[in-house]
Amino acid sequence: MITAAVLASLCTVEAGGQRWVDDPANKLRADEKTPRAPKEYVVNLDLPEEERWKEIGEKYADKSFWLVEYLRRNLPPGWLKPIEKIAAQLLPFFKDYGGEMKGYAAALNITEGDVVAINLIYQLERLGLACDSWNNTGPSHTCDLPMNADDDSAEGSQGFYGPFMPYPDDDEDEYEREMADIDAPGPCTSFVVQDPDFKIWAGRNLDWNFPDVLKQFIINVDFHRGGKSLYKATTAVGYVGILHAVKPGKFAYSMDARRKGGNLALNLLEMALGSGVRTPEQHARYVFETEDSYAAAKDSLANTEIVNPVYYILSGVQKNEGSVLARDRKGVVHTYNMEEEIESPGGNVQKDFWVGITNYDLDKHPLPADDRATPMTDNLNALEGKAFNDKEVWDILKTWPTFNAHTDITAVVDVASGAFDVVVWFDHKNFPEDDDLEKM
């Protein structure tokens, strides 16, 4: 069993220097991204669990080695063997979707352990943040990761590893260090906004820093039950949780990282899953399959125990139905509602027609090195009293640094109609289409 110490963070970062939001080279990288629509599929919830993802899995089976290779390269040193060892024990703990994961593994022709790791990507956190893909133009700067003590080659290592935020040399040092320890996830942005006629839009950017070869696995899924569409969601091949979703005419959701959501020792994770607690992404999916109103969805997302902290961003279809739920494992810590004017330290004020979050509780000002909240606030406040539509929402999501070099997915949702507009951003314009990848 892996101890909690394995997950303690210790990574060298550069203090001072130019902040990533001020670096024109980073903005240029963002401007050069190429949009592509994700592939779309139907999943029939009336099928037995192990058969639901069979068609999708078999379609991607000849490319699944990319998923496995990514896991091999980006799991922390020393984690691969323990993950594979305990994966078979963890799978039965996914009480709602374990059968789907087992069927996915068979269809993709990969091990159940690999599928478990894919479905714990948020909990493991460091996936995508090993030194070879380190987000060195985002909140974290240089990376110097010592080997873990559970690694066979980790002689003399300190047995720790993980991301830290940079510490500017100013009067905020103590706060910066505290936030680095506690609130330092990868960047994301989500918001809910209503126009003067109370039409509600949801917008989100997911920033993970996936390499292009993995972005081919990001898909949209239309979940059906009884021969009819129940809800639409974005997810990834091999992954049974949902990243953002809409139940047309009812509610929509997205999720942002909170308090290093992935820093959870695997023995604690095993205990949580063993008691029937869901991961945040799988609980969100459960809500879309069991609840039928904004109020019921909000209650379940706020009050059901989950494996790790998260921000749930929820939108409905009636006036002022928008909220951000800042969650810890046991329940909601803060609820931020659209109808409230929310003031944050540093002068940001969210007007009472929208609500949004990046990766920091609104009673704390964001790190100067990672201030995506101020431009989001300024741009959304500028819509006050104006008629707008999806174009204005897209424009805000495409504005630097809300849109940045590590933005992988952008989604704009019309909750009432269920219009679900999703773009995957590729770093290389000439990256091959799916059917050409096997030639690489």
Which residues have CB under 8 Å from 158's CB, separation 6+?
A: 10, 146, 149
The predicted-structure confidence for 145-194, as pLDDT tens digits, reads as follows: 333 333 333 333 232 223 322 223 333 444 444 444 443 345 699 999 99
Instruction: Extract the tokens encoding 101.
Output: 């994961």
Pairing of strands 354-357, 188-194: antiparallel
With cut-offs at 50, 70 and 90, classify the pLDDT of residue 125.
low
The predicted-structure confidence for 321-367, as pLDDT tens digits, reads as follows: 999 999 999 999 999 999 999 999 888 999 999 999 999 899 987 77
The predicted-structure confidence for 19-68, as pLDDT tens digits, reads as follows: 777 888 889 999 999 999 999 999 999 999 999 999 999 999 999 999 98
* Predicted TM-score of the model (pTM): 0.84
Model pLDDT, residue 117: 85
Model pLDDT, residue 17: 52
DSSP codes, 19-78: -GGG-HHHHHHHHT-EEEPPEEEEEETTS-GGGTTHHHHHHTGGGTHHHHHHHHHHSPTT
Report in angstroms the alpha-carbon separations of 279 from 115, 124, 152, 392: 14, 12, 30, 33
Model pLDDT, residue 56: 98
Residue type present at position 93: F
Residue predicted with more confidence, 79 or 39: 39
Place of tokens 């009293």: 385
| Mean pLDDT computed over 230-240 | 98
Q: Which residues sit opposite 36 in a β-bridge?
A: 424
Model pLDDT, residue 84: 66
With cut-offs at 50, 70 and 90, classify the pLDDT of residue 435.
low
- CA–CA separation, 191 and 169 (whole Å): 32
Q: Which residues sit opposite 283 in a β-bridge?
A: none
Model pLDDT, residue 80: 65
Model pLDDT, residue 88: 64
With cut-offs at 50, 70 and 90, classify the pLDDT of residue 14.
very low
Q: By three-state DSSP, how is residue 426 classified?
A: strand
